[in-house]
Amino acid sequence: MTFSLSRRSLLAGSAAAAVTGFPNVLRAQTREIFIGGPASPGLTDVLFPLIEKKHNMKILFEGTNSLINLEKIRNNKDRPTMTVTMMDDPVLVLAQREKLIEKLPAEVTNLAQLSAAAKPNEAMWANWCQPMCSASHNTKSVPGGVASYADFWDKKYRDGLILISMRITQAVAPLLAATQLATGKPLAECLKLADEGFGKLKELKPNILQVSTNAPQAQQLLETGECMAYLAPDSRSTLFRKAAGAPVDQSYPKEGVIAMPAGVALVANGPNKDLGITFINELLSAETQATVAKAFFSKPTNTATKLPEGLSFPEMVVLDWEYFADNRNRWIERFEREVAAR
């Protein structure tokens, strides 16, 4: 028996093979998303593997601070590469205004269980946790922690503090601490009075060893005892390092602890949007939020979450991050002129 194959039948066969012969290749291509977010311990080694395994997806991740992440999204606005962005709320405010993110759709069903404060601007994005922000201290240099923010102005801290740059969102903590000392107002009322705090923050200069935008370097200086305290990383890094055996801990000053806004959003017109929705919905689920609370030492935002045994969080001050975003640039300029300059 002989067979005669025409050129047309060969091409048809090749096309069929392309569709049916390599389904695994095609499937792999569509199960991959790129996420930009914070360089926080626990993301790539704890949280992402859990979601990847549960939903058969591959997460490509680039960790950097929120303002740099925003710039990357801006630069790729016409041809987005990111599907999901994880940024602080003040930067997400800017992203929304520039139409760089899109409203979370109804398919993110776990939004229904989030606290109202965790769904800013009618759920344009969601807060996936609330890290605690106050101050971090070296437990050998400052045993027992810091009872009041006022302690940092004591001369015993001379050249003993690292102050985080105003370009980093966590810098709001020392600014509001200074404002509270200057005005006597509760910490929760100090954001709109923050200009009154710069004079007090300037008085801290003799105690400042370094103003830093380099969080890993600052953390290393704290752990080696080259500085006594660090104002102010949040609990994601501080308590993670404590759990790893580093001689550091979170201080809980009597004036209060600030809730940092860890946001997650869909990049406008990003690729593989369905996977982005799946990722965000899983991140906000009560089960995964329990893992988040333990891995990131941060308060979950899903109200149905059962905290792991032995884990609790204090009441925290929640800020108006839109107001912060509107005033941040001039605060940066003033901070760098009056506080960071030598």
- Residue 30: per-residue pLDDT: 54
- Residue 18: per-residue pLDDT: 40
- 76-111 per-position pLDDT tens digit: 999 999 999 999 999 999 999 999 999 999 999 999
- Residue 191: per-residue pLDDT: 98
Percent of the chain topping pLDDT 70: 91
| Count of C-beta atoms within a 10 Å radius of residue 277 | 19
More confident residue, 3 or 163: 163
For the chain, give percent helix, strand, coil, nearest 5.
50, 20, 35
Q: CB of 59 within 8 A of CB of 255?
A: no
- Residue 4: per-residue pLDDT: 39
235-266 residues labelled b (16+ CB within 10 A) or e (exposed): bbbbbbbbeeebebbbbebebbbbbbbbbbbb
Averaged pLDDT for residues 304-318: 93
- 218-249 per-position pLDDT tens digit: 999 999 999 999 999 999 989 999 999 999 99
Bridging pattern class, strands 262-267 and 126-133: antiparallel
For residue 303, pLDDT beyond 70? yes
- Residue 41: per-residue pLDDT: 82
- Residue 67: per-residue pLDDT: 86
Mean confidence (pLDDT) of the chain:
91
For residue 57, pLDDT beyond 90? yes
Q: Token pair of 272, please?
A: 């593989």
For the whole model, what pTM was predicted?
Answer: 0.83
For residue 162, pLDDT beyond 90? yes
H helix or E strand, kind and range, residue 222: helix 215-223
- 325-340 per-position pLDDT tens digit: 999 999 999 999 999 9
Averaged pLDDT for residues 58-76: 93
- 128-144 per-position pLDDT tens digit: 999 999 999 999 999 99
**Phi, psi at 138, each rounded to 5°:** -80, 125
- Residue 250: per-residue pLDDT: 97
Averaged pLDDT for residues 44-73: 94
